[in-house]
Amino acid sequence: MKMKLHYFAMLLFAFVVFSCSTESIGPAISPEVENAVEVEQELLGIVNDHRISLGYNDLDFSSVAYQFANKHTDYMIAKGSINHDNFSARASDISQAVNASFVSENVAKDYDSAHEAFQKWLASSEHRKTMEGEFTHTAVSVKRNTDGKLYFTQLFYR
């Protein structure tokens, strides 16, 4: 009986040791990068000025959306590319936090200024549609990667 118990314990130990595996879950998120606050404020102002020039409301700043925009900008920098990865989860979290009925986002990278990012978004029908959409709140996150390249995330909601 002791032999069977000893055998079972060794078998269980071997199973636990050899069945463990590691799995990559994507790029590691680097520590938060400092925001380019002046660029963020400039881009928010440019977008609001554009909206007002068309007769639309200006957008109120959202600290909730800003947190999510910052996390996504950090994620894009860690990946080294722009993307809308995990947008559904981000939109759902924002919706729950502020009772939003619709969430959208624009992203960009490698533009040297807020004005250049805005002009590129304006030239794109989808990005333009987002900037000119029926939204009430926004937040802009702009950060530089280690090479000094700017990454942009602007979230919108109503």
Q: Assign residue 59 the CATH number of its domain.
A: 3.40.33.10
Residue 10 counted as domain residue: no
Read off the pTM: 0.80
pLDDT tens per residue across span 74-101:
999 999 999 999 999 999 999 999 999 9
Give the number of domains in the chain. Answer: 1
pLDDT tens per residue across span 90-143:
999 999 999 999 999 999 999 999 999 999 999 999 999 999 999 999 999 999
Residue 103 counted as domain residue: yes
Residue 20 counted as domain residue: no
What distance in Å separates the CA atoms of residue 83 and residue 156, rounded to the nearest whole number? 16
Residue 127 counted as domain residue: yes
Residue 23 counted as domain residue: no
Contacts of 47 (CB under 8 A, 6+ apart): 59, 118, 131, 138, 140, 154
Domain containing 106 equals: 32-157
